[in-house]
A and B are shown apart, each in its own frame.
Chain A
């Protein structure tokens, strides 16, 4: 949907990347990549982790220099060697992790780096005037005097957009912008992107959510292993085709599973409360049960108590009050993660690199984390290295971890393979209850499919699974029953059949479920 050029004639593309080639040591991150984004369009860029999308955008934004190839902005060849020069060339970027100063107001954040002289007063006035105009034009709905740290994530993101526009960006790069948003916030973002396009701005949208690509982009470019494998008109393609292009083979987007046959409760949580170090109550009297052969999904925007719930169940955070029962047996107070594992609680943590793995350790050392004093890994005081290596190799092969090299440090595996390593470790210990946090965050489609199949298989073998994810699609397709958390409480519950994205979205945003929920929500034991 290219807006007709104002001058009527043939118009140069907003951004053109020609023959971009980039190597990092032995890794060929970009191979002769071409990309042409027209003025006034939304161009999606998809690909698995490590496909080279971020490298490509970093080259455009001046973080890296390409080994070969050229960058053209509106037909002019430019040399972008720093973000400063990218901004001067009219390219702005909204990072996945915001680059904002929390205690500053929106206005101060936007002015940062463009203060206009040693005294702030004049610059502030000018900025305020310009920002109000921008606000009106794109309906950004950002309070200029609000302190950034106190604003919701969705608005913080709009501050980033405002910042880029204020610096005169004609082309905006957004890196995984919806990862932290509720569905409603994401919709608002897409309306803003639409308005930007209609005003003749160009948007480059990096995402791994195919639904978003289909909903908002005009064209979509697909990268695989450093190469640009396709660039299509979005209207002329399908989700299935894009997924296939990304992975290089057919993939199943829906989770293939039979209805759950829930049995006796394996995990019961009664009035669980968690208070953090600063005395803030993070988990407010939460109760629920998970039955054998059931996946309980816990939806919610990040930071609403899900992490604290997982930490308490895994024994990492001591609950302030409440009880946890595993297979009917109450867990004694003060049980540490080590003892929790012995009681049959396995845990795939939300952040695998910070919690679940020791990045510089070899795979075989990571495969025993948490189980390192298991008798089968030790002979007397020494490790049984042959056995450890053997079981590492077996698990790597069973979980298709590539390369299946037990001596390779965990940091050198891709995100998907790291996650498979963690899942293998936790699932293969035959737990009673499996806690899973963000199982597919930063994981490529092929690995997602594999991990989902494993979780369903574990469920079918009669285990209880607690799945925490901020990906609503993942919860909706994988969980048999869904709890929504908001502000440390359970805001609602529903079965998979009854799940409705809008209703869950409202619960995630803290809108009272009474008028929204299609069925009465009953929390806890029945």
Chain B
């Protein structure tokens, strides 16, 4: 009765997502066909959009944009994944990223007397503290008062948006202009882009916004992995997520653990500000986070809340965002909304319908492993 056979790992994290993804692309192709486009050409454009064609669009530029978007998705994906391990559905990545970006912006605007080597850690702390603080209030309400975190985090997204408009229009706007943007950051208060770093050591790469934040995103993935599976605090988070009663029995406080998980999740979302504000726009402005917070939910879902999976799913979403933009540009039938439809299909098949093929594939592999066992 014990020792129930399990699926081979490569099937679980490789084959099944691949089948789901292929199906999503297939259905997308049908949709493209219906609106009068050529699906083969659309896929071609999507891919050259994301990776460049080496002529019109240099590879470096396209890949750079793809990786820039990927970085954003990694941060918001991790924000959802960490909370999910605690059994919480963090819908507030959008607001946490927005306020995290505010933290980064304030550091870059007001602490720019610091040298580069100090302003970077200060901005990281600013992002984590502001993003975490924005997650703390819903977390506290969930932990102590039982207010459902899905509702409160959604509301906090709206509050964040309103707060940012107020701050940008009334307080942080550069005097003497119409558009609600701050002054540009000092030259040493920005994260250098990769084309600048590589250019400095003599490697010429086309201009793109991908910057040092990508390295921090990889560090964040490793940190989350270590935290969740290798520390006693991550153990507490997973225990609360899987069986709250067992957590209480084991002396783990669910309330404190919920707050801890959400603080870390909020900090992860806040790091998006490093990439968008300090790495790309070099000033504080409105809506730099738009859509990534919600995209992060899909990324975490697809990546099965594992940092490696989150990274791969973020890469896929980076490709869809960048390639989709080019696709909308090149093919008149395909509007930006159409690209969102394709993204939606990927989410639908890879996330929501994850269990559509799983039982059949699982049955096939179990039967196969039984046969091989019987043969030996």
Query: What residues make up the interface of A, taking CB atoms closer than 8 Å to B?
Result: 25-27, 50, 314-316, 336-341, 347, 349, 354-361, 365, 368-370, 372-373, 377-378, 381-383, 385, 402-403, 405, 408, 412-414, 417
Contact = CB atoms under 8 A, between A and B. Distances in A.
A337 B249 contact: yes
Contacts of A377: 232
A358 B239 contact: yes
Main secondary structure of the interface of B (DSSP, over half): helix
A408 B2 contact: yes
Contacts, number: 92
B117 interface: no
Contacts of B235: 365, 368, 372, 383
Contacts of A349: 249
B73 to A, nearest CB: 27
Contact of A354 (B226, B238, B243): B243
A408 B249 contact: no
Given A358-B242, A361-B238, A361-B242, A402 B2 contact: yes
Among B232, B236, B251, B373, chain A packs the most CB atoms within 10 A around the CB of B251
Nearest to A314: B249
Contact of B2 (A358, A373, A417): A417
Contacts of A339: 251
A171 B251 CA distance: 48
Nearest to B4: A412
Given A337-B250, A347-B249, A403 B2 contact: yes
Given A370-B250, A408-B3, 6 more contacts: A25-B370, A361-B238, A369-B250, A372-B250, A382-B231, A383-B230
B352 interface: no
Nearest to B367: A25
Interface of B: 1-5, 226, 230-232, 235-236, 238-239, 242-243, 245-246, 248-253, 366, 369-370, 373
A425 B257 CA distance: 23
Among A26, A339, A357, chain B packs the most CB atoms within 10 A around the CB of A26
A73 to B, nearest CB: 29
9 contacts: A25-B370, A26-B366, A27-B4, A338-B250, A356-B249, A358-B243, A359-B242, A368-B235, A381-B231
Contact of A25 (B2, B239, B366): B366
A385 B3 contact: no
Contacts of A408: 2-3
Contacts of B230: 382-383, 385
A479 B2 CA distance: 32
B255 to A, nearest CB: 11
Given A378-B232, A385-B230, A412 B248 contact: no
B1 A50 contact: yes
Contacts of A314: 249
Among A354, A377, A385, chain B packs the most CB atoms within 10 A around the CB of A354
B246 A26 contact: no
Nearest to A415: B1
Q: Which are the 8 A-B pairs with shortest beta-carbon distances? A: A338-B251, A370-B250, A337-B251, A50-B1, A369-B250, A355-B249, A358-B243, A26-B5
Nearest to B242: A358
Contacts of A385: 230
Given A314-B249, A373-B232, A412 B243 contact: no
Contacts of B366: 25-26
A347 B236 CA distance: 19
A358 B5 CA distance: 20
B249 to A, nearest CB: 4
Contacts of B2: 402-403, 408, 412-414, 417
